[in-house]
Amino acid sequence: MELWLIWLIIALVLAIAEIFTLTAALGMLAVAGFVTAGTAAIGLPVPGQLVVFSVVSAAGVVLARPAARRMMLQPRIERFGIEALVGSSGYVLREVNGHEGLVRIRGEDWTARPYDESVVIPAGSTVDVLHIDGSTAVVYPRE
């Protein structure tokens, strides 16, 4: 079997493995394998092929690392789940007191309690969501 064909098979196996793992490392090795298969096809000797494979693999890491590092160090811009509700406003459907209450936040009905247990928030009021405690919104009346 031709050596370039072996490199091509290795590159294809790495590319397929990358599709299933999505790690990017196998993808960079697959690219190095394809480049090395090309150099083997034009007749570069085996030591030269190994050098090409090593250089292209290292170049992939050197080029990809800064971009990956930037992405990892960026703060999350969007909040998801219950974190997204904190700081939003709600509409009181049923009086909120120290024992019970119901507010509508972004179209969903949530059980609620006031931040200050002594405060009673009447129905029809607007409140700010301070945090979510389990499935209960902790709210404060908007002034």
* CB-based burial label for 42 (10 Å; 0-12, 13-18, 19+): exposed
In this predicted structure, the answer to whether residue 35 has a pLDDT above a threshold of 90 is: yes
Sign of dihedral through CA atoms 135, 111, 81, 132?
negative
Residue 3 identity (one-letter amino acid)? L
- Give the pLDDT confidence of 6-15 residue by residue, as tens digits: 888 888 898 8
Query: Which residues is 3 bridged to in the sheet?
Result: none
Burial of 110 (0-12, 13-18, 19+ CB in 10 A): buried
Superfamily of domain 82-141: Nucleic acid-binding proteins (2.40.50.140)
Beta bridge partners of 106: none
pLDDT 10s digits, 50-100: 999 999 999 988 888 788 788 878 877 777 778 888 989 999 999 999 889
Q: Where are the domains of the chain?
A: 3-73, 82-141
State pLDDT tens for residues 94-138.
Answer: 999 988 999 999 999 999 999 998 999 999 999 999 999 988 999
